[in-house]
Amino acid sequence: MEEGEVKQQEKKQVVKKTDWNKNKFGTWWKNEQATFKNGKEEIQVWTEGPFRIKGNEAGKLQPGTTINYDEVMLQDGHVWVGYDSFEGERLYLPVREWNGVAPPNHGLDELWGTINCVKI
């Protein structure tokens, strides 16, 4: 292989690094510790996530309420955060819409509140 051919091969093998993982359900996920403060609208919270399945509703996050989350997921056209309730139950909250494109090239709509990163 000549030098020009080697450079062409190197160009083809560029891989973008990402901290996202994909599980057997097709959900993209990553660990992230932060707080989410809900904006002006109630958001439906789910017990089985990140999927919106009838019967798995866990109440609604009220406007202005803050939660501490430890996981972010992309599934079902939304960005979800996972967190534990005060009772220790695992809950899932959609926080914005997602365009369905795999990370790191995915697109996100406007956040439904604010996020503050937690310093560890």
Q: What is the pLDDT of residues 42-80, one digit of tens each?
A: 999 999 877 888 889 999 999 999 999 999 999 999 999
CATH number, domain with residue 57: 2.30.30.40
Instruction: Name the domain count of the chain.
Output: 1
Q: Lowest-pLDDT range, 1-5, 11-15, 31-35, 62-66?
A: 11-15
Report yes or no on 20 lying in a domain. Answer: no
Find how far residue 83's CA is from the centre of its chain.
12
Report yes or no on 84 lying in a domain. Answer: yes
Report yes or no on 112 lying in a domain. Answer: yes
| Cβ burial, residue 94 (10 Å; 0-12/13-18/19+) | buried
Domain residues for the domain of 37 are 27-117
Report yes or no on 39 lying in a domain. Answer: yes
